[in-house]
Amino acid sequence: MILKIERKNKLSINLMVFAVLNFSWSLAQETYTLSGNVIDELTGETVLGANILLPDLSIGAVTNEYGFYSITLPAGTHKLLISFLGYQTIEQEITIDKDTKLNFKMVEESSQLDAVIIEQNIEKTSIRKPEMSVAKLSSKTIKNIPAVLGEPDVIRSILLLPGVSNAGEGASGFNVRGGGADQNLILLDEAIIFNTSHLFGFFSVFNTDAIKDLKLYKGGIPARYGGRLSSVLDIYQREGNNKEFKMNGGIGLISSKLLLEGPIKKDRGSFLVAGRSSYAHLFLQAAGEENTASFYDLNTKLSYRLNENNSLYLSGYFGRDNFQLGDSFVNEYGNTVANLRWNHLFSDKLFSNLSLIYSDYYYGLNLAVRSFEWESHIINFNLKYDFKHYLSNNFKLDYGINNIYYHFKPGEIRPDSEDSGINPEEFTNQYANEFAAYIDAEHRLTDKLTVRYGLRWSHFTRLGQDEFRVYDNNNPVLFNEEFQIYEGAEPIRVDSFDRSESLADFNNFEPRVSLSYLLNDNTSVKASYNRMTQYLHLLSNTNSPTPLDVWTPSGPYIEPQLLDQYAIGFFKDFKDGDYTLETEVFYKDIQNRIDYIDGADLIANEEIEQVILNGEARAYGLEVLFRKNRGKFTGWLSYTLSKSEQRTPGRNANEPGINNGEWYNSLWDRPHDIAVNGTYELNDRWTFNGNFIYQTGIPTNLPIGQVQQLGLTVPIYGNRNESRLTDYHRLDLSATYTPRKNKDRRWQSEWVFGFYNIYNRMNAASFSFEENRATGQNEAIRTSIFGIVPAISYNFKF
Amino acid sequence: MKKLLYIILMGFFIIACEDVIELETPTGETRINIDAHFRVFTQEEPIRATGRVVLTETVNFFDDNIPAVSNATVTITERESGTIYPFVEATPGTGIYESTDLLFLNDFDAMFDLHVEADGEVYSASAQPIRSAPILEIQQGDLEIFGEEDLELIVTISDTAGIENYYLFDFGFNLYQPLDDQFFDGNEFEFSFLYTEDDEVNLQPGDVVTVINDGVDEQFFTYMELLLEQTDSGGFFSSPPTTARGNVINQANPDAYPLGYFRISEAFTLNYTVQED
């Protein structure tokens, strides 16, 4: 269970741990196991990352993502401290003379709606855990960050952390340490989410009200995660209150949301239903506007504790985005996820979770101007069985297996009416299976040195399909030396394979190592290495991913992406942990990063292998995070200095590759990235929050000349991504007002007022170059997405 | 289709704001640009062929003057017979090279070689005339995507079955629409084209527009899609722009490669008189 050690602990307690751990704890005598769950007294929900500490023995444990802990103790009477951010610390004596189950109920320090608990920002990385390159945010922190249009947002929040950026406003997804937006493994209650954006990245698909906890791994990724190269964003949904029925919601300018939760059976089972919907489009429609954009999503969860050793969770997510230009263009896309999990305790030292997950990413298009409808799906069935084995206080093992079966339906085109000239056609379905087994140990070697080491074996099979195109020399892309252009080859034949056959097989061993060495009680150094494999590729050739982009599996013509990442870090607490400093440097190297030939058309292209070239990518950088953890003012300053590049050399001496085979900046390369976030709690009623962001502009291309063809003025371009957009910066401010009358009544409310980009900076999202058709002059046009955006929202709870 | 979808996606950014900014752009190496597009209207009486060779040089994007390349030797040779058809710069200094009779291009089995000699370099390209499909009908629709100024024309063509056909539609005013028959092979197919406010065309009822359908090959289709993407390049959902290399080469000195295209298309045309909306 090594990795899910949370770091929300209070500093004082942390320090106690350090003090205590300096003792030797192997005083051999009879030992017993103390295990159980930590839950919230009011709601009955499990608490992730709570600390269970025995100060006299210098040992401790942390609850896992299902609230379970296990600790080995010598017989006798001991003092116990149970602590968690924002909760009152429990102090208790226990006498242990046999293996004991003990559940703890914690009480929130303040039960006010989202009241700012002063220490809640302590989400720092624990000095001694062999866990680095990890960022953690609670839903409370996320809610405090001023958001565009007033809707708190997970993705926008993590963008304020070092090493995380995106390709600009309106860009979907995020980039971690110079990686692509498709290289993030995004898990919602362990289910893989393919598209994280609503409204082209203006909102993310996660409803913060339904989220309990999230963790972002930028490196040092534990062996239990795999399938994406750059990061893991692991999000857990709340289970819902199993004591009483509760409701909360919010009303904003663009969207509103409502969450209902309550017991199915008191103390045993609960439900949670949370929905969000945008409604700005309704006003637009009422105003006669035919072009609209809207989204909605629904999170549901049922939790049931069968007995002490067994719990069941059934969760679901359903989200859709809808874009409409009158009737001529309708685009709808979204995720559907259903997930059944079974927690089982084999013993008080062996925790297990079995997950069965179904997920369907749907993308549909109705293009009346071309008389057709288009539909595509990625369906997957995912089975995971994970074990957490608490062998001793110094040695813990994680192991498990994971199997994902993929069914890709790249596209089905249908005439949209009887008189459409379109021939119905279904692109060949593709099938694949990804299996992985892993083992991962957290091993405390000495008081100062803790190591985590693990290995993941992944195996990917591209299964048989109909209409598999075979090319001469197995080469689907030809280089036309005469015209110096790449072009698709003609298939020499088309084969059909049975689904049980394998078209291509890939095996990869992915070692993961990280270690932490304590220099003194307040200072540690950490290092990590991880290898990752990614078998799926997002086909995207634009500045930012669009909902039109499709995923394709590795196979005979596309190799899996491989990453090696190295990182070292230095971590220090100051003033008893009032301040913390985290610095890291990283280097990553990616093989088999695909790029596309000039003029590649990726949309509705069944012969995608004909436009793909194989290349590589690399990124390196320095990250600094300085936090103030306590006091009326809390917040952080983050700075990232990094470089992200890509290269696609020619396959032989006669080919130029892309950009003549030279390294070029990736589209999301931002050498400097500074973010400042601060929260100031003035009094019980008013809390202020602000953030400031400064980033180097992303790479772009400026024309190096112009030519006339067919009467058109055409800009011509040189090497790729050599110029940049102007630097990006903005300041956001928000204020939260909690009315005083809240105190003693059931209905509680708050108002959030905010401004996004308060000084109305016109940040360039893109430059485009074209001839002004009215004047005949060539012009450079800057597109900016958001100027100043005010927001107001009203949140309630009862 | 890609281009169209990106334009549509851009349309969603209603909140986005666009402004013209001052920007300095670099100037790359000077290259010759060869603009050699020919059409043969095979169904007209008498058969008609149009086209010319225009030679210019590349200049900085914001330069108002595009220098012409004069005093070049320009010929087209029919490969099998070896017949050479010279092109002359009728008005010196314009860089426009013409031939009085282009009907020799009306041979759909022949291969034609373009030969250009200018400033000591030799550029060459070859092309075979490509078949097209007749425009059966043009109607006016009432689709409006970008605003009330939008004018929709619905064009119906009849595609030839069993062949991968590529078309380039010319809607006048330097407005083009490439189309391939991947999804409508062998069918009568109708599609919409929008004249929008941004096109600065401002068509009024009674105005006559001429729509021309050129037959092109896959290479030119890809080139044309790239060109159109570049004409509005760097946009939000656009692909990384690159210089579109055409089919003209400099065999002796590949580094001094030219830009531009030489093609011969069968063309069909139909006029349409704009009606009251």
pLDDT > 90 fraction of chain A, expressed in percent and rounded: 41
Q: Which has the closest alpha carbon to A751: A762, A741, A761?
A: A741
The label of the residue with tokens 């205590």 reads: A20
Contact B232 A768 (CB under 8 A): yes
Tell me what the mean pLDDT of segment A511-523 comes to. 90
Q: Which residues in chain B are contacts of A484 at CB distance < 8 A?
A: 245, 249, 254, 257
Q: Which residues in chain B are contacts of A483 at CB distance < 8 A?
A: 219, 245-247, 249
Q: How far is A521 from chain B (nearest CA, A)?
A: 50
Confidence of residue A124 (pLDDT cuts 50, 70, 90): very low
> CA A629, A631, A636 angle in degrees (round to 5)?
35
pLDDT of residue B200: 82
Inter-CA distances, B9 with A320, A374, B198, Å = 17, 16, 16
- Both tokens of residue A330? 């309708």
Instruction: Return residues 125-164 of B near A (CB < 8 Å).
Output: 143-145, 159
Q: Which residues in chain B are contacts of A709 at CB distance < 8 A?
A: 33, 35, 227, 260-261
Contact B2 A784 (CB under 8 A): no
Q: Judge contact between A230 and A217, C-beta under 8 A.
A: no
Rounded (to 5) percent helix, strand, coil in chain A: 10, 55, 35
Q: Which residues in chain A are contacts of B50 at CB distance < 8 A?
A: none
Contact A482 B60 (CB under 8 A): no
Listing DSSP states for A286-316 in one string gives HTT--EEEEEEEEEEEEEEEEETTEEEEEEE
Q: Which residues in chain A are contacts of B63 at CB distance < 8 A?
A: 706
Tell me how far apart the alpha carbons of residues B158 and A735 are, in angstroms, rounded to a whole number: 63
Residue-wise pLDDT for A659-680, tens only, equals 889 999 998 899 999 999 998 9
Rg (alpha carbons) of chain B, rounded to whole number = 20
Tell me what the mean pLDDT of segment A69-81 comes to. 89
Instruction: Return residues 118-177 of A near B (CB < 8 Å).
Output: 170
Q: Which residues in chain B are contacts of A546 at CB distance < 8 A?
A: 9, 237
Contact B190 A421 (CB under 8 A): yes
Higher pLDDT, A555 or A766: A555
Which of A721, A778, A781 is opposite residue B240, by nearest beta carbon? A721
Task: Give the side-chain half-sphere CA count within 13 A for A117.
Answer: 23
Q: Is residue A122 pLDDT above 50, yes or no?
A: no
Q: How far is B235 from chain A (nearest CA, A)?
A: 5
| Mutation target vs B (from A548, A659, A706, A784; most B CBs, 10 A cutoff) | A706
pLDDT of residue B252: 93
Contact B12 A542 (CB under 8 A): no
Asked if omega into B67 is within 30° of 0 (cis), the reply is no
Q: How far is A754 from chain B (nearest CA, A)?
A: 18
Which residue type occupies A701? N
Contact B234 A769 (CB under 8 A): yes
Q: Is residue A18 pLDDT above 50, yes or no?
A: no
Residue of A nearest to B37 (CA): A710
Q: Judge contact between A738 and A113, C-beta under 8 A.
A: yes
A152-161, A637-646, A739-748: the lowest-pLDDT one: A739-748
Q: Residue A41, Cα to own-chain centre: how many angstroms?
A: 30
Residue B27's DSSP bridge partners are none
Tell me what the mean pLDDT of segment B55-63 comes to. 95
Q: Which residues in chain B are contacts of A646 at CB distance < 8 A?
A: none
Confidence of residue B1 (pLDDT cuts 50, 70, 90): very low
**CB-based burial label for B120 (10 Å; 0-12, 13-18, 19+):** exposed
Q: Judge contact between A293 and A308, C-beta under 8 A.
A: no
Residue of B nearest to A716 (CA): B243
Rounded (to 5) percent helix, strand, coil in chain B: 10, 40, 45
Residue-wise pLDDT for B6-49, tens only, equals 444 544 444 567 889 999 999 999 999 999 999 999 999 999 99
Higher pLDDT, A125 or A58: A58
Q: Residue B235, Cα to own-chain centre: how many angstroms?
A: 21
Task: Kindly provide the ipTM of the predicted complex, given to two decimals.
Answer: 0.89
Q: Judge contact between A650 and A479, C-beta under 8 A.
A: yes
Which of A598, A599, A781 is opposite residue B20, by nearest beta carbon? A781
The label of the residue with tokens 């989202």 reads: A114
Query: Is B210 an interface residue toward A (CB < 8 Å)?
Result: no
pLDDT of residue A537: 93
Q: Which residues in chain A are contacts of B61 at CB distance < 8 A?
A: 702-706, 715, 769, 778
Tell me how far apart the alpha carbons of residues B38 and B51 are, in angstroms, rounded to a whole number: 4
Q: Which residues in chain B are contacts of A721 at CB distance < 8 A?
A: 240
Which three-class secondary structure state does DSSP give residue A491? coil
pLDDT of residue A302: 95
- Both tokens of residue A100? 């004991």
Q: Is residue A118 pLDDT above 80, yes or no?
A: no
Query: Is B45 an interface residue toward A (CB < 8 Å)?
Result: no
Contact B12 A769 (CB under 8 A): no
Q: Which residues in chain B are contacts of A714 at CB distance < 8 A?
A: 227, 230-231, 244
Q: Which residues contact A289 (CB under 8 A, 6 or more apart)?
A: none
Q: Are strands A191-192 and A197-198 parallel, antiparallel or unpaired?
A: unpaired
Contact B236 A765 (CB under 8 A): yes
Residue of B nearest to A171 (CA): B236
Which of B13, B219, B231 is opposite residue A712, by nearest beta carbon? B231
Q: Which has the closest alpha carbon to A587: A534, A644, A637?
A: A644
| Mutation target vs B (from A148, A369, A372, A413; most B CBs, 10 A cutoff) | A369
Q: What one-character DSSP code corresponds to residue A167?
A: S
Tell me how far apart the alpha carbons of residues A246 and A797 are, in angstroms, rounded to a whole number: 7
Query: Is A760 an interface residue toward B (CB < 8 Å)?
Result: no
Residue-wise pLDDT for A87-97, tens only, equals 888 888 888 88
Q: How many residue contacts between A and B have a Cβ separation below 8 Å?
A: 256
| Mutation target vs B (from A769, A772, A784; most B CBs, 10 A cutoff) | A769
Average pLDDT of chain A, as a whole number: 85
Query: Is B254 an interface residue toward A (CB < 8 Å)?
Result: yes
Query: Is A427 an interface residue toward B (CB < 8 Å)?
Result: no
Query: Is B197 an interface residue toward A (CB < 8 Å)?
Result: no
Q: For A644, phi and psi rounded to 5 degrees? A: -135, 125
The label of the residue with tokens 């009032």 reads: A578
Tell me how far apart the alpha carbons of residues A122 and A576 are, in angstroms, rounded to a whole number: 12
Query: Is A762 an interface residue toward B (CB < 8 Å)?
Result: yes
Q: Judge contact between A178 and A669, C-beta under 8 A.
A: yes
A291-295, A402-406, A426-430, A733-737: the lowest-pLDDT one: A291-295
Q: Judge contact between A335 and A315, C-beta under 8 A.
A: no
Q: Which has the closest alpha carbon to A214: A239, A182, A236?
A: A236
Greatest alpha-carbon pair distance for chain B in Å reads 61
> CA A459, A463, A469 angle in degrees (round to 5)?
125
| Mutation target vs B (from A371, A709, A726, A771; most B CBs, 10 A cutoff) | A709
pLDDT of residue A267: 85
> CA A421, A422, A425 angle in degrees (round to 5)?
155
Tell me what the mean pLDDT of segment B105-127 comes to. 95
Query: Is B181 an interface residue toward A (CB < 8 Å)?
Result: no
Which of A328, A370, A709 is opposite residue B260, by nearest beta carbon? A709
Q: Which has the closest alpha carbon to A35: A63, A7, A75?
A: A63
Contact B231 A771 (CB under 8 A): yes
Tell me what the mean pLDDT of segment B126-140 comes to. 94
Which of A421, A596, A705 is opposite residue B59, by nearest beta carbon? A705
- Both tokens of residue A350? 């062996």
Query: Is A653 an interface residue toward B (CB < 8 Å)?
Result: no
Residue-wise pLDDT for A133-186, tens only, equals 777 777 777 777 766 666 778 888 888 899 999 877 767 789 999 999 899 999
Greatest alpha-carbon pair distance for chain A in Å reads 91
Residue A292's DSSP bridge partners are A324
Contact A714 B192 (CB under 8 A): no
pLDDT of residue A439: 97
Q: For B104, phi and psi rounded to 5 degrees? A: -60, -20
Query: Is A543 an interface residue toward B (CB < 8 Å)?
Result: yes
Tell me how far apart the alpha carbons of residues B168 and B170 are, in angstroms, rounded to a whole number: 6
Q: Is residue A390 pLDDT above 80, yes or no?
A: yes
Q: For chain A, what is the total number of helices (H) and then of strands (E)?
A: 4, 53
Tell me what the mean pLDDT of segment A30-45 comes to. 88
Q: Which residues contact A414 (CB under 8 A, 6 or more apart)?
A: A372, A373, A374, A375, A422, A424
Residue-wise pLDDT for A684-716, tens only, equals 889 899 999 999 999 988 999 999 999 899 999
Q: Which residues in chain A are contacts of B26 at CB distance < 8 A?
A: 702, 704, 718
pLDDT of residue A126: 59
Confidence of residue A600 (pLDDT cuts 50, 70, 90): confident
Residue A478's DSSP bridge partners are A487
Ordered domains of chain A (ranges, CATH): 2-106 (2.60.40.10), 118-235 (2.170.130.10), 236-797 (2.40.170.20)
Tell me how far apart the alpha carbons of residues A405 and A425 are, in angstroms, rounded to a whole number: 25
pLDDT of residue A756: 87
Tell me how far apart the alpha carbons of residues A219 and A177 are, in angstroms, rounded to a whole number: 9
Q: Which residues contact A346 (CB under 8 A, 6 or more apart)?
A: A352
Scanning A145-221, the segments in alpha helix (DSSP H) are 154-158
Residue-wise pLDDT for B163-218, tens only, equals 889 999 999 999 999 998 888 888 888 888 888 887 888 889 999 999 999 999 99
Q: For A310, phi and psi rounded to 5 degrees? A: -140, 135
Query: Is A253 an interface residue toward B (CB < 8 Å)?
Result: no
| Mutation target vs A (from B180, B200, B239, B257; most A CBs, 10 A cutoff) | B239
Instruction: Return residues 67-106 of B near A (CB < 8 Å).
Output: none
Tell me what the mean pLDDT of segment A393-398 comes to. 91
Which residue type occupies A116? V
